Structure 1
């Protein structure tokens, strides 16, 4: 009997518990403004989808503990420490009574995902509670590696790469691009939480003070700082797209959908002339749906082509 089965009753009851845990992660994902990731997961084969809900659900659940404005910093720290302890206990035992952690443990076991990537992600969230600024982009990238690259490395086995090294490079580039884009679009929200992710060296080079990020007025210098981050993210997206061939056809539509969503977010920033200070950059549900529909059509086309090829081979 596996550790996660102990004391859980019959196999039928355990299966029901596991299904509900994955469903709970799906609800967390959609409820925490994760609709784009949910749409992308729908483009994966059915057998992979619950595992992506578990990984994204865990990340979102943890992020909500750290980033909520409902609690004072001391309360957020206490809640995170309690959650961190629960995650460590689950990693040691292989199971948890918490549905997010139960689903996460099932996912780590099914896809042989190293627990170190989960711990790295937790380190990044702990950094969010005590680090309020980053002197250089190299310093910021240390945070990004723990926060975003660690998550991408959890996801990689679920995508079943054809070439793990090349797919890993693409995944790292995509994860960094996503984190940079989120930093750009969340400048105001992060400022209210007392954090400035934009590197201090970039702010200084453009003649911008952290206090300028309050959004009371937007200057050309502030736009220049954002333009620099957008340029970095665009270069990373190109690198990520060049590595798509390292993934199997069944995983490419989902990954391309995420690429398209983040590319569209960057275009939206550019269309606003890099003003991310007066309002948060968002994609409306129709634009997300259009991207999802395009990726779905691609997936169905690929499936039809594969079946037609198989039928030709069978009759040859």
Structure 2
């Protein structure tokens, strides 16, 4: 590798770190648990996901969002052909032994985010699950494949874990999502608990809201615990990043519950030192 190539690689890697895993973030501590040889590629994957999230969630015009996602579809084809143009794409190519083999899964991930441009509300949990599977489950499967003993089977157990991580994210980000016009709680569940979308957007707390969030938190927690238990025994040592993410998500759900689900006006988070300890311990748990 020439000096110029070395400099370029460092530049792309730094971009991915700043985009996906700045110091102190949950992603930062989760990625640090991965084998050193795979951290750069995993960081690039997390950066790609962040790019796609920003594309759909920070774009008010769906037409613009679709145009940007179409660009990313072309970019995944280009990187598979060895002609990347985006810093994240350059990093993916630089750190993946067979990027062409991963390209179909990357394109599927891009396609999954199109759902955010089609709808901002979900009628029931079955509809919401289709979204979490295409975004959360698909991403966790890609991440799991990087270090799995049997990459071809990773989706069987990583998919449910990715879905569960999304459910936990919906609890934490409820207030921020609502302020941006997105509510990832099923409409029929809002009705069941007597909470309106307007109350979420206007940050109105109530006993009904508390019970709604207790239900959402318990479901996310149960889903995480069930998904973790479903990781095969011979894969648990290979999945340090996903295990760290799940452990931090579980701890955060407990923190949110202790704070009486006050998530509409603030973003509750764990301290960096607590994230470090939780991630380190979870990554080494068999």
TM-score band w.r.t. shorter chain: 0.7 to 0.9
Correspondence for 1:35: 25
1:138 has 2:126 as partner: yes
Instruction: Classify 1:133/1:28 alpha carbon distance in 2 versus 1 (closer, same or farther; 3 Å).
Output: same
Correspondence for 1:206: 193
| TM-score, reference length from structure 1 | 0.79
1:257 has 2:244 as partner: yes
The gaps in structure 1 that reach 5 residues or longer are: 1-9, 303-316
Instruction: Classify 1:128/1:137 alpha carbon distance in 2 versus 1 (closer, same or farther; 3 Å).
Output: same
Instruction: Classify 1:164/1:227 alpha carbon distance in 2 versus 1 (closer, same or farther; 3 Å).
Output: farther
| TM-score, reference length from structure 2 | 0.86
Q: Is the Cα–Cα contact under 8 Å of residues 144 and 242 in structure 2 kept in the other structure? A: no
Q: Is the Cα–Cα contact under 8 Å of residues 52 and 69 in structure 2 kept in the other structure? A: no
1:21 has 2:12 as partner: yes
Distance 1:155 1:145 in 2: 14
Correspondence for 1:6: none
Q: Number of matched residues?
A: 285
Q: Is the Cα–Cα contact under 8 Å of residues 188 and 277 in structure 1 kept in the other structure? A: yes
SS in 1 for 2:114: helix
Quick one: which of 24, 34, 40 aligns to 1:44?
34
Distance 2:86 2:53 in 1: 16
1:190 has 2:195 as partner: no
1:230 has 2:217 as partner: yes
Quick one: which of 25, 33, 43 aligns to 1:53?
43
Structure 1 residue 201: Cα displacement: 1.0
Distance 1:278 1:211 in 2: 14
Distance 2:256 2:120 in 1: 24
Distance 2:118 2:69 in 1: 13
Q: Is the Cα–Cα contact under 8 Å of residues 178 and 200 in structure 2 kept in the other structure? A: yes
The gaps in structure 2 that reach 5 residues or longer are: none
- The 5 A counterparts of 1:153-164 are 153-161=141-149
Deviations 1:186-214 (CA, angstroms, capped at 9, x unpaired): 11111121111100010111112111112
Distance 2:128 2:269 in 1: 23
